[in-house]
A and B are shown apart, each in its own frame.
Chain A
Amino acid sequence: MSAIVAARRAQPLTRAALSASEDSRPVRLALTAAALGFLGLFLFLPLVAVFTEALSKGGEAWVAAVSEPEARAALWLTLKVAALSVPLVTVFGVAAAWLIARFDFRGRRLLLALIDLPFAVSPVIAGLVFVLLFGRQGLFGPALAEHGVKVIFAVPGIVLATLFVTLPFVARELIPLLEAEGRDEEEAARTLGASGFQMFWRVTLPNIRFGLLYGVILANARAMGEFGAVSVVSGHIRGLTNTLPLHVEILYNEYRFQAAFAVASLLAFLAIGTLVAKALLERRIGGSR
């Protein structure tokens, strides 16, 4: 009896909750179909196309395309640039995020705006700025040439351009996280006698580690895939300053479609690897909470 009363009482409540949080069935189905259709058309289909085209002349042609010296050099350079730039933007991102989240200082808003700048500026323009600064006719060009340092049309320029476009990822990931954490635990560490470094290493970092990894993964994906900014500063010297995205373009422009797609599939593998790492990480975060 009492169960029936309880059920009756519960019913209007659940119905109200349903209508508040969920739409009717047809609407839900339509939305799901639209989202899946969109994803299929713009994400999944292109990926399938990359792999079918890459393998259109068989596995041997694919192996040949990705193992020719220029493709190998491009892969190596892409990995090298990512390995150089990602640690730097990580260190910068952590320092900037900590500064912005923990201190109130003059120029804080300006710094915040500057960190967002690479999101707002076209990468091609960013590349051009570096040419204007470090190119032969550029501001620091003569001084650099005098010391025999080559930045533009060389690896340093590519790293600089990559740093520019990947700069916001780590900082942007960490700022809201640090702000949400608050300073209590850090202050507790201070009163317990921890030095600044000990506080950061033993208290701050463990609390933000997953957010940090997430930011690093995003920055890494961008570093490996960047085209525009790198294209301007690279000079497209085969085997020397071509990254994977640039190499794909060159092959494509030479009508070597299968080879272009084969190299593109390498990039796709790097991207998929990144996504898998991200998914694993998210599952771990979910598990640890």
Chain B
Amino acid sequence: MSIEVRDIHKRFGNHQALAGVSLKVETGSLVALLGPSGSGKTSLLRIIAGLERPDAGQVLFAGEDATRQDARHRRVGFVFQHYALFRHMNVFENVAFGLRVRGRATRPSEQDIQGRVRELLELVQLGWMADRYPSQLSGGQRQRVALARALAVEPRVLLLDEPFGALDARVRRQLRAWLRGLHDKIGLTSVFVTHDQEEALSLAHRVAVLNDGRIEQEGTPDDIARRPATPFVADFLQAEPVAICHAAQ
């Protein structure tokens, strides 16, 4: 499902987090919001999810206005930076949560829940971890549980906040390749936030570079890397030399 935001403004106290951001995310694509901390990328992601309300502007899902819709009804899968797993539930119950809270009319039977959760845990390669608690898992495992939990509700879009930020370099690379493979397999429209340009350029189909609450440039990784539109983008990319491992399709 496509996502569109139109002229989003958001202010927190004296801080203008977003100052007129517009962006289109095509169905099935994987888009990175790239920028330094404080550039507004996480605020934008949270507004898309419905966790924050914009002061002005619109959020559209598949062309329909969802600006006023509660996060609960948006059917977005959100993976939090620190995973936000439910500490008092084991892995199985974490993943089952979104199914168990459904109204009686739409809630799957216990048997279907069992089947669906097992299937998702297999998908994230954690089938054998169902009885563990979050505190017993490594960072990479928590990340995958968070992903399975988000996917359990059959979301229309997947939003990931700094999905690899808290992981060490080796796990990060593995998980990145795995996530890319997963996206190719299930084709869910996805947006992820990162401050790591290599991550954005190597993983995403399209990249939006944010600075100071505005989008400086939006385009394919190739565009961004070879033809930076503003001095900021050029500067930001220069901070670290990048090898583009993946060109957009």
Q: Could you tell me which A residues sit within 8 Å of B by CB distance? A: 184-185, 187-195, 198, 202-203, 206-207
Contacts and interface: CB of A to CB of B under 8 A. Distances in A.
Given A184-B84, A185-B84, A206-B88, A192 B51 contact: no
Interface string B71-102: 11111111010101111100000000110011
Contact of A188 (B50, B80, B102): B80
Contacts, number: 63
A187 B152 CA distance: 16
Instruction: Give the most central of A184, A193, A195, A203: most B CB within 10 Å.
Output: A193
Contacts of B101: 189, 192-195, 198, 202
B113 interface: no
B80 to A, nearest CB: 5
A185 B152 CA distance: 16
6 contacts: A188-B86, A192-B97, A193-B75, A194-B101, A195-B72, A202-B97
A214 to B, nearest CB: 17
A182 B190 CA distance: 26
Given A189-B86, A192-B153, A207-B87, 7 more contacts: A184-B80, A187-B51, A188-B80, A191-B49, A191-B76, A191-B78, A198-B101
A189 B80 CA distance: 11
Interface of A is mostly: helix
For A188, A194, A195, A207, the residue with the greatest tally of chain B CB atoms inside 10 Å of its CB is A188
Given A184-B80, A195-B72, A189 B97 contact: yes
A149 B152 CA distance: 56
B103 to A, nearest CB: 9
Interface in B124-174: 149-150, 152-153
Nearest to A184: B84
A79 B136 CA distance: 43
Nearest to B51: A187
Contacts of B85: 185, 188
B97 A191 contact: no
Given A187-B51, A206-B88, A207-B88, A192 B80 contact: no
Contacts of A184: 80, 82, 84
Given A193-B153, A194-B101, A202-B97, A188 B87 contact: no
B42 to A, nearest CB: 12
Contact of B72 (A185, A194, A202, A206): A194
A190 B49 CA distance: 10
- Which of B77, B80, B152: most chain A CB closer than 10 A? B80
A180 to B, nearest CB: 12
A193 B85 CA distance: 15
Contact of B98 (A193, A195, A206, A207): A193
A203 B78 contact: no
A193 B102 contact: yes
B149 A192 contact: yes
Contacts of B82: 184
A209 to B, nearest CB: 9
